[in-house]
């Protein structure tokens, strides 16, 4: 067969060229869009975090934080029946009272996915506050309550209209909710302590909401408490339990050998313990059970289970013994690590980074979500042993990032298993605390904990800029000084560094959807970038905001003396911090002495050494802050 | 016999007078001072929240609940001891407290404080506060501030972005569609939510401080209080009071109304026609036609009430109690009862008829 020669007509070369370019663009577009989509199920780690059980007990709904989905699992066979895609970074899951709907809080996109439990399809998407972390329906199934971690409040959503009807003020980092058995009260806990006076013990709270009036009616104070995680109520409503961290951030971290880093404990409240809150330790004198996360109380109130997510185990507590000990105690017992021997029954080893706990309706089975194993441990609560494990699927081969993530969340490298990276960087963020890290005396060189998102290009690390790279930051400094161990090998350190440096930036909620700025933000941007003051005089380059806070992360990666050093600081020079997502990481300045962004300039910049700002009016300063919140 | 006839005549006249007297609210006043639980007798403001009553005094914030007073001070986290203004978020039950040293937010016992140093608040002297949805509006010594409670954004309004010739904002009243400010020396400012625009109401000719002809406009631009209800604006000044329905002004002065004084600290509109006026010479009520005044006598301090009808006829009413003092700073309603903040105590007016 003879091929017909292509006849070239005038101008056809151009057409061919255009078509070729179009094909290339189409190919590129296809390739990019394919990359932009989430990896396939098999290619992603699941990171199961929370679970709920269908009313008939046949199906487990497992919320997978890493793969943005809910996996439906046959509770008997352990087989994954179906996968439902939800929003990005889901953190909370719950059922409607009739079990017909599944609610999922999508923390990075500020939405709820409502899944029809029959069709297993997302039937509605509802708006929430900033970073919804958990969701609970009222008993009537008419109202949803959503704990918003970044906006530190609770959204009240009318289910019929789908509209948020009000916001209730919670504590900082509102994250976990639990409804009382009678449905009258809703309890909320918080992962960050309140921003209080500088160098004072951390304070948190349990926020109590009257669901009839939809109002906060009480705030149970939690003294000396930083992060608080899940919360559970006994079936009779007489006992409330919340796992929590007691940071010892006011004394130098050099005293790890004295147990002065973190205490892992429970906050108890309710009729069973009298009127107030009683804190009881779950650690032992020479062994810690780091990052207590979830709690489950058996229906008969005989036992409670706590997942220690940094210790890869479940702590089992005899409730009557614990209450007897509490009632017999003559004073506070939160720091008495010998106390736990009186009520801790056993520790059950499970998978890596155990998070959510779920008791079956009859209390005979306890399900444990092993976040970094992509599995579920099933525990027979009669004998308190793991009787089976459910493999949820997901990516099977190990990557450096996965290995690094496991190192980040485990406390096994620390002396006596006291803490992990995730203790101070809760869910890979920060803890809202200021630490006395160095062994240079009490109260010397206080440093505010910084966010660790999107760190590439922000070196050096530490507030004094002493660590040129993450390997130095995470390596000898962390393992030898913080952890008081020499446990990492070079491969493990490389994995950890890979993981930390890959932590993404959370979405900024202050930018308008299309990225444009509001008028106030525009005015603030002009102030941030200005080179002359309001009197027309030039501002020294080193005193312009955008000089030090330059580049894509808003840091020139150098040291600067901005006049905020204290007498207790060994050097006035501080690392210029990146400003990405600066809105979320208060308090501010190297030592956290500025409780708000305003105080950086209204209190701590009297001589215009931290930028030329004293010519600004109050509304101009507000504009500057509005702009900074968009970075 | 003559005495009997005279007595009969007096009774008949009294009955006749009584029959002709407009039926105005009568109260039995129970007064609270430092002697029975108030932290200070100088009560700047009062706010009713159901069964609870909040009183802002010169020396702390007091909560009356179940027959007892509980006092909040700076030791509890209150911004300043002198509490000037209060506003209730009816949606959440949270209380916003304007003080001489900042704005405090009380939520289920927790007190968070905003100042000009730690927040975007324009000035620490917060004369007025109002809640409107997710926004908290404040009237301060340096203009108006608006806090978006969902995002934390502060918006300030002053001479640079609003028709605020003076920035001494004295009071704020919020409605579903508009927000009104009483600006001391600057008249009334109106903010329309739909447009985000300001409009000012000052003396009609723009040259004098006061209205030259009755009902031509705002009575005086030294305003002390605004109350926006049923799309009607009530305005208090130190020189009389005004009523504005969006088209027409109606002004009240001692000489042409039942006001006991032109010096009015606060006006609280009940609806488009009825309002309470807190003056330096007693508490006045206007039902749209008639007036009633409640006070201790200015001459002998004895309880006093009188009614002025539409024709201007004044009828004394025999009463056994009166508000704690004639210098009245604020009122709030609790059903049919009234709570009255005065310079010398807080009074609970229990409705008798």
Query: Tens of pLDDT along A401-421?
Result: 999 999 999 999 999 999 999
Helix (H, G, I), strand (E, B) or coil at A492: helix
Is the per-residue pLDDT at A8 higher than 50?
no
Query: Do A124 and A111 touch, CB atoms closer than 8 A?
Result: no
Nearest to B154 among A153, A603, A622 (CB): A622
Q: Is B351 helix (H, G, I), strand (E, B) or coil?
A: strand
Q: Which pLDDT band holds residue A438 (cuts at 50, 70, 90)?
A: confident
Q: Looking at A15-24, A121-130, A195-204, B291-300, which range is the least confident one? A: A15-24
In chain B, whose CA is at the least distance from the CA of A509?
B151
Instruction: Among B141, B142, B147, B154, pick the best mutation site for testing chain A contact (most A Cβ within 10 A).
Output: B154
Percentage of chain B lying above the pLDDT 90 cut: 89
Strands (E), A224-373: 232-233, 240-247, 262-269, 277-281, 292-297, 303-308, 313-318, 344-349, 354-359, 365-370
List the domain range (segments joined by +) for residue B73.
Answer: 49-56+69-275+286-321
What mean pLDDT comes out for the span A292-319?
98
Asked if A619 has any chain B CB less than 8 Å from its own CB, the reply is yes
Chain A, chain B: beta-carbon pairs less than 8 Å apart:
73
Give the residue from chain B lying closest to A594, CA to CA.
Answer: B118
Q: At what angle do helices A519-529 and A618-628 cross, to 10 degrees?
A: 90
Confidence of residue A485 (pLDDT cuts 50, 70, 90): confident
Asked if the structure places residue B243 within a domain, the reply is: yes
Q: Tell me the residue ranges of DSSP E strands in A54-108.
A: 59-64, 69-74, 80-85, 90-95, 101-106
Section A88-95 average pLDDT: 98
CA distance B209 to chain A (A): 29
Distance CA A143, CA A162 (A): 9
Question: Could you tell me the two tokens for A231?
Answer: 């919360």
Which residues in chain A touch residue B161, judged by CB atoms under 8 angstroms apart? 619
Q: pLDDT tens digit string along A44-70?
A: 999 999 999 999 999 999 999 999 999
pLDDT at residue A271 tops 90? yes
A626: three-class secondary structure by DSSP: helix
User: pLDDT tens across B186-196, in order?
Assistant: 999 999 999 99
Burial of B200 (0-12, 13-18, 19+ CB in 10 A): middle
pLDDT for A416: 94
Residue A508 DSSP label = P
SS3 A14: helix
Share of chain A above pLDDT 70, in %: 93
What is the average pLDDT value for chain B, to the nearest integer? Answer: 94
Q: Residue B301: give its domain's CATH number.
A: 2.130.10.10
- Number of domains comprising chain B: 1
Task: Give the side-chain half-sphere CA count within 13 A for A57.
Answer: 10
How high is the pLDDT of residue A476? Answer: 79
- A168 touching chain B per CB within 8 A: yes
C-alpha to C-alpha distance for A279 and A244, rounded to whole angstroms: 9
Q: Which residues of A touch B119 (CB under 8 A)?
A: 596, 598
Taking the CB of residue A164, how many other CB atoms lie within 10 A of it? Answer: 17
Instruction: Decide if A598 and B110 are in contact by the 8 Å CB cutoff.
Output: no
* Other CB atoms within 10 A of residue A284 CB: 17
What confidence score (pLDDT) does residue A460 get? 96
d(CA A423, CA A521): 35
The most distant pair of C-alpha atoms in chain B lies apart, rounded to whole Å, by 82
d(CA A47, CA A367): 15
Contact criterion met (CB < 8 Å) for A169 and B107: yes
Chain A, 552 to 611: residues with Cβ < 8 Å from chain B are: 595-596, 598-599, 602-603
Q: Does A35 have pLDDT greater than 50?
A: no
Alpha-carbon distance B321 to A453, whole Å? Answer: 67
At A471-481, the pLDDT tens digits run 998 887 787 77
Instruction: Pick A168's closest partner by Cβ from B92, B122, B156.
Output: B92
B94 touches chain A (CB under 8 A): yes
Contact A452, A430 (CB under 8 A): yes
Token look-up 């089992």 returns: A316
Q: Is B50 an 8 Å CB contact of chain A?
A: no
Of A151, A167, A618, the CB nearest to B156: A618
pLDDT above 70 covers what percent of chain B?
A: 95
Helix H or strand E segment including B283: strand B282-286
Could you tell me the pLDDT band of residue A43, with boundaries at 50, 70 and 90? confident
Please name the helix (run of DSSP H) or strand (run of DSSP E) that holds residue A207, with its range, or none. strand A203-210
Which H or E run includes A602?
Answer: helix A597-602
Is B27 part of a structural domain of the chain? no
DSSP state, A401? H
**Please, which pLDDT band fits residue B4 given cuts at 50, 70 and 90?**
low
Q: How far is A502 from chain B (nearest CA, A)?
A: 29
Confidence of residue B2 (pLDDT cuts 50, 70, 90): low
Whether A218 has a pLDDT exceeding 60, the answer reads yes
Cβ contact A482:A488 at 8 Å: no
The answer to whether position B237 is within a domain reads yes
Ramachandran area for residue B33 (φ above 0: left; ψ -120 to 50: alpha; else beta): beta
Question: pLDDT tens digits for A180-193?
Answer: 999 999 999 999 99
The model's pTM: 0.91
Contact list, A213 vs chain B (CB under 8 Å): 93
pLDDT score recorded for residue A2: 39
CB distance B326 to B308 below 8 Å: no
CA dist., res. A201 & res. A185, Å (int): 28
Nearest to A596 among B92, B110, B118 (CB): B118
Contacts of A62 (CB under 8 A, 6+ apart): A48, A50, A51, A70, A71, A72, A73, A369, A376, A392
Query: CA-CA distance, A269 to A225, in Å (whole number)?
Result: 15
Q: What's the pLDDT score for residue B8? A: 52
Whether B145 contacts B122, CB under 8 Å: yes
Task: Determine contact, residues B318/B306, Cβ cutoff 8 Å.
Answer: no
Separation between Cα atoms, residue A220 and residue A208, nearest integer Å: 8
Q: In chain A, where are the structural domains located?
A: 401-501, 519-628
User: Cα A282 from chain centroid?
Assistant: 22
Coil/strand/helix, residue A197? coil
Pick the closest to residue B268 from B88, B45, B52, B51 (CA basis). Answer: B45
Contacts with A211 from chain B: Cβ below 8 Å: none
Comparing A216-220, B18-22, B184-188, the range with the smallest average pLDDT is B18-22
Q: Assign B19 a pLDDT band (cuts: 50, 70, 90).
A: low
* Chain B interface disruption, residue of A198, A211, A619, most B CBs within 10 A: A619
Q: If phi over 0 gives left and psi between -120 and 50 gives alpha, with beta otherwise, what is residue B165?
A: alpha
pLDDT at B30: 97
Contact state of A219 with B108 under an 8 Å Cβ cutoff: yes
Radius of gyration of chain A (CA): 26
Contacts of A602 in chain B (CB under 8 A): 116-118
Chain A interface disruption, residue of B150, B160, B167, most A CBs within 10 A = B150
| ∠ Cα A520 A525 A527 (to 5°) | 100
Tokens 């701590």 sit on residue: A604
Tokens for B78, please give them: 């209150």
Query: From the CA of B115, how many Å to the nearest CA of chain A?
Result: 10
Q: Are B307 and B20 in contact (CB under 8 A)?
A: no
CB atoms A219 and B107 under 8 Å: yes
Alpha-carbon distance B124 to nearest alpha carbon in chain A (angstroms) = 12
Cβ–Cβ of B109/A219 closer than 8 Å?
yes
CA B186 to chain A, closest CA, distance in angstroms equals 20
Min Cα separation B251/chain A (Å)? 36
Token couple for B50: 């159901």
Q: What is the pLDDT of residue A213?
A: 96
Query: How far away is chain B from the Cα of A390, in angstroms, using its nearest Cα?
Result: 41
The pLDDT tens digits of the residues spanning B76-113 come to: 999 999 999 999 999 999 999 999 999 999 999 999 99
Q: For residues B111 and B234, what is the distance between their CA atoms, to the nearest angstrom?
A: 32
pLDDT digits (tens, 9 = 90+) for A519-574: 999 999 999 999 999 999 999 999 999 999 999 999 999 999 999 999 999 899 99
pLDDT value of residue B126: 98
Indicate the CATH number of A519-628 among 1.10.286.10, 3.40.50.720, 1.10.760.10, 3.30.450.40.
1.10.760.10
The complex's ipTM works out to 0.89
The pLDDT-based confidence of B6 (bands split at 50, 70, 90) is: low
Pair of tokens at residue B42? 């100088």
Nearest CA in chain A to B124: A618
Residue B249 lies in a domain: yes
**Span A83-109, average pLDDT:** 98
3-state secondary structure B144-198: EEEEECCCCCEEEECCCCCCCCCCCEEEEEECCCEEEEEEECCEEEEEECCCCEE
Provide the pLDDT for residue A255. 78
Contact A392, A62 (CB under 8 A): yes
How does the average pLDDT of chain A come out, rounded? 92
pLDDT at residue A34 tops 50: no
The answer to whether A219 contacts chain B (CB < 8 Å) is: yes
The per-residue pLDDT for range A345-361, each reduced to its tens digit, is: 999 999 999 999 999 99
C-beta separation of B22 from B289 below 8 A = yes
- For residue B156, give the chain A residue with the closest CA: A619
Is B9's pLDDT higher than 80? no
A158 touches chain B (CB under 8 A): no
Q: Would you call B92 and A166 a contact, using CB atoms and an 8 Å cutoff?
A: yes
* CA distance linking residue B50 with residue B52, whole number of Å: 5
| Measured distance CA(B104)–CA(A47) in Å, rounded | 42
The reported pLDDT for the residue numbered A36 is 36
Take residue A37 and report the two structure tokens written for it.
């989509």
The 8 Å CB, 24+ separation contacts for A326-333 are A326/A268, A326/A273, A326/A278, A326/A280, A327/A273, A332/A279, A333/A278, A333/A279, A333/A280, A333/A281
Rg (CA), chain B: 21
Integer Cα distance of B155 and B168 in angstroms: 17
Helix A490-501 to helix A400-409 angle (10° resolution) is 90
- Is a pLDDT exceeding 70 seen at residue A31? no
CA distance A153 to B91: 14
């Amino acid at each position: 067969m003879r091929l017909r020669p292509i006849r070239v007509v005038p101008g056809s070369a151009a057409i061919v060229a255009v078509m070729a370019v179009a094909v290339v663009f189409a190919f590129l577009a296809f390739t990019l869009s394919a990359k932009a989509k989430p990896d396939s199920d098999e290619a992603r780690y699941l990171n199961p975090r929370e679970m709920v059980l269908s009313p008939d007990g046949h199906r487990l709904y497992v919320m997978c934080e890493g793969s943005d989905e809910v996996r439906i699992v046959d509770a008997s066979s352990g087989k994954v029946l179906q996968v439902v895609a939800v929003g990005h970074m889901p953190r909370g899951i719950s059922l409607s009272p009739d079990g017909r709907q599944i609610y999922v809080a999508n923390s990075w996109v500020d939405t709820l996915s409502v899944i029809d439990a029959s069709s297993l399809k997302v039937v509605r998407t509802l708006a929430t506050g900033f970073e919804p972390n958990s969701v609970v329906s009222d008993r009537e199934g008419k109202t949803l309550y959503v704990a918003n971690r970044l906006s530190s409040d609770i959204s009240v959503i009318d289910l019929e209209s789908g509209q948020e009807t009000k916001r209730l003020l919670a504590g900082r980092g509102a994250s976990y909710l639990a409804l009382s058995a009678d449905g009258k009260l809703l309890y909320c806990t918080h992962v960050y302590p309140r921003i209080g006076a500088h160098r004072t013990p951390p304070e948190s709270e349990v926020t109590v909401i009257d669901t009839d009036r939809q109002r906060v009616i009480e705030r149970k104070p939690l003294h000396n408490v930083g992060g608080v995680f899940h919360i559970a109520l006994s079936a009779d409503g007489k006992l409330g339990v919340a796992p929590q961290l007691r940071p010892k951030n006011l004394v130098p971290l050099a005293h790890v050998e004295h147990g002065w880093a973190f205490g892992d404990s429970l906050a108890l409240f309710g009729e069973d313990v009298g009127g107030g809150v009683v804190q009881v330790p779950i650690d032992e004198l020479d062994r810690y059970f780091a990052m207590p996360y979830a709690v489950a109380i058996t229906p008969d109130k005989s036992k409670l289970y706590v997942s220690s997510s940094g210790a890869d185990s479940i702590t089992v507590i005899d409730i009557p013994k614990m209450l007897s000990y509490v009632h017999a105690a003559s004073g506070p017992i939160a720091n008495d690590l010998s106390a736990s021997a009186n009520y801790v029954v056993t520790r059950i080893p499970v998978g890596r980074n155990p998070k959510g706990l779920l008791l079956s309706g009859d209390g005979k089975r306890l399900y444990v979500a092993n976040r970094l194993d992509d599995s579920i441990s099933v525990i027979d609560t009669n004998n308190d042993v793991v009787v089976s494990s459910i493999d949820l699927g997901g990516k099977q081969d190990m990557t450096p990032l996965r290995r690094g993530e496991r190192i980040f969340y485990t406390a096994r490298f620390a002396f006596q298993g006291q803490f992990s990276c995730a203790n101070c960087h809760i869910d890979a963020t920060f803890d809202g605390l200021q630490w006395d890290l160095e062994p240079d005396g009490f109260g010397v060189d206080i440093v505010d904990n910084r966010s660790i998102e999107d760190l590439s290009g922000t070196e050096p690390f530490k507030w004094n800029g002493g660590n040129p790279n993450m390997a130095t930051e995470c390596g000898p400094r962390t393992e030898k000084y913080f952890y008081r161990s020499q446990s990492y090998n070079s491969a493990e350190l490389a994995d950890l560094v890979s993981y930390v440096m890959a932590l993404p930036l959370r979405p900024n909620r202050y930018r308008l959807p299309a990225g444009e700025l509001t008028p106030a933000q525009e005015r603030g941007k002009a102030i941030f970038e200005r080179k002359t003051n309001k009197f027309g005089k030039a501002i020294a380059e080193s005193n312009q905001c955008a000089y030090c806070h330059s580049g894509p992360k808003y840091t020139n990666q150098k040291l600067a003396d901005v006049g905020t050093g204290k007498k207790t600081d060994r050097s006035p020079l501080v690392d210029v911090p990146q400003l990405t997502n600066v809105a979320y990481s208060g308090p501010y300045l190297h030592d956290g002495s500025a409780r708000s962004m305003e105080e950086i300039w209204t209190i701590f910049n009297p001589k215009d050494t931290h930028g030329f700002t004293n010519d600004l009016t109050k509304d101009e300063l507000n504009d500057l802050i509005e702009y900074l919140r968009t970075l | 016999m003559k005495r009997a006839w005279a007595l009969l005549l007096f009774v008949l006249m009294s009955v006749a007078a009584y029959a002709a007297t407009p039926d105005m609210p009568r109260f039995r006043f129970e007064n609270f001072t430092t002697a029975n639980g108030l932290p200070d007798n100088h009560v700047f403001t009062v706010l009713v929240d159901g069964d609870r009553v909040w009183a802002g005094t010169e020396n702390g914030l007091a909560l009356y609940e179940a027959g007892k007073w509980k006092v909040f001070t700076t030791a509890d986290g209150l911004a300043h001891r002198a509490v000037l203004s209060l506003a209730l978020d009816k949606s959440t039950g949270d209380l916003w407290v304007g003080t001489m040293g900042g704005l405090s937010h009380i939520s289920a016992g927790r007190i968070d404080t905003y100042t000009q140093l730690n927040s975007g608040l324009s000035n620490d002297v917060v004369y007025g506060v109002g809640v409107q949805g997710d926004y908290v509006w404040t009237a301060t010594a340096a203009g108006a501030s608006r806090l978006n409670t969902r995002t934390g954004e502060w918006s300030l309004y002053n001479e640079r972005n609003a028709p605020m010739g003076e920035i001494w904002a004295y009071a704020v009243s919020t409605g579903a569609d508009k927000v009104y400010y009483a600006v001391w020396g600057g008249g009334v400012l109106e903010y329309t939510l739909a447009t985000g625009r300001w409009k000012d109401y000052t003396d009609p000719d723009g040259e004098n401080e006061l209205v030259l002809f009755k009902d031509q406009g705002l009575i005086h631009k030294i305003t002390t209080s605004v109350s926006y209800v049923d799309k009607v604006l009530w305005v208090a000044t130190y020189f009389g009071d005004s009523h504005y329905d969006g088209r027409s002004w109606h002004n009240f002065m001692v000489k042409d109304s039942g006001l006991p004084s032109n010096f009015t600290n606060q006006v609280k509109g009940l609806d488009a026609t009825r309002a309470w006026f807190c003056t330096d010479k007693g508490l006045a009520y206007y039902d749209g036609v008639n007036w009633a005044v409640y006070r201790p006598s200015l001459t002998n301090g004895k309880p006093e009430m009188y009614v002025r009808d539409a024709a201007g006829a004044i009828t004394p009413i025999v009463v056994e109690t009166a508000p704690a003092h004639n210098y009245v700073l604020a009122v709030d309603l609790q059903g049919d009862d009234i709570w009255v903040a005065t310079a010398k105590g807080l009074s609970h007016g229990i409705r008798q008829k």
